[in-house]
Amino acid sequence: MKEIVVVSGKGGTGKTSLVASLAVLAGESVLADCDVDAADLHLVLQPEIQKSEDFTGGKKAAVSPDKCSGCGRCHEVCRFGAITRDEGRPPAFAVDPVACEGCGVCSHFCPEKAIRFEPVVDGRWFAAVTPYGPMVHARLEIAAENSGKLVSLVRSEAKKIAEQKGYRYLLVDGPPGIGCPVIASVTGADAVVVVTEPTVAGENDLERVVALAGHFQIPVYLCVNKFDINPGLGEAIERRARSAGITLVGRIHYDLAVTAAQMRGVPVTAMEEARAAKDIRAVWNKLLTHVDTN
């Protein structure tokens, strides 16, 4: 099974549309939406959910009032300002779960062993089926942390399905940027496809993503989306990519059929005659000549 992760330096480059389109072409494949902070692959593929579970990413402190003597030591040592005095009689202390980082310092210093740690539900993950294959996706609660952990969970659940079914490809919609969630989504993958647009921001983002993938020694491939909105800059990006040892897998033309497909709730590759669909088919075929032989 080959795991192909599609990433971009920033959101809005067409990454998710490309993943959905590749799923149409890949045949027996499993999809994983690892953009857990802004998951939207399910909007394109309209999955039928078969299983869903809470994601408990971390633990937060909580004071047991019956044990707390009100000494205030925890309040002094918490550098996140998460412990506040509760002016009841007798006075005690309480933890603000939003401010708590779960570092454990308060518990270490509490003389009464009055602080316990409780798991916190940070989100939910889903196993589903789509017209183009099984899919795993997730939803992180607003302001919840641990998105890297959730990304790893989504990937490993998707991998399990791919292995159980004996499928050939795992297609991952990676998070944008270069932070912890991206690292969690590319580590150990077989290929990283960077989707960029011919803009100055796209040029800068490309370099950052490429440096990241290079660090993990994963083969990187470049696809320039909406190439024809600025062919000069598109060619400049391709030159830079080539000189960095990145293989180009193709250009996708700007095509209103992509929007029309989104409005119909299908990937553009389901509309065979669309120009963008032909471009994406060429991208997929070229990508396979590399991925299947590595």
Q: Could you give the angle at which helices 200-215 and 231-243 cross, rounded to 10 degrees? A: 20
Nearer to ligand SF4, 73 or 168 (CB): 73
Stretch that binds ligand SF4, among 28-36, 61-69, 194-202, 222-230 (CB under 6 A): 61-69
> For residues 244 and 215, is the Cβ–Cβ distance under 8 A?
no
- Cis amide linkage into residue 90, ω under 30° from 0: yes
For ligand SF4, which residue of 40, 86, 101, 190 counts as binding (CB under 6 A)? 101
Q: Which of residues 73-92 bind ligand SF4 (CB under 6 A)?
A: 73-74, 78, 80, 82-83
Task: State the nearest-atom distance from the C-beta of 147 to ligand SF4, in Å.
Answer: 19
Using CB under 6 A, pick the residue from 6, 20, 30, 100 that binds ligand SF4.
100
Give 190: exposed, middle or buried? Use CB within 10 Å, 0-12, 13-18, 19+: middle
61 binds ligand SF4 per the rule CB under 6 A: yes
The one-letter amino acid code at 71 reads C
- CA 36/CA 173 separation, integer angstroms: 10
For residues 11 and 58, which CB has a smaller minimum distance to ligand SF4 in the complex?
A: 58
In terms of CB distance, is 84 or 259 closer to ligand SF4?
A: 84
120 binds ligand SF4 (CB under 6 A): no
Q: Is 102 in the site for ligand SF4 (CB under 6 A)?
A: yes
| DSSP letter for each residue of 76-136 | HH-TT--EEEE-SSS-EEEE-TTT-----HHHHH-TT--EEEEEEEEEEEEEEEETTEEEE
Give the footprint of ligand SF4 on this chain (CB under 6 A). Answer: 61, 63, 68-74, 78, 80, 82-83, 93, 95, 100-106, 110, 112, 114-115
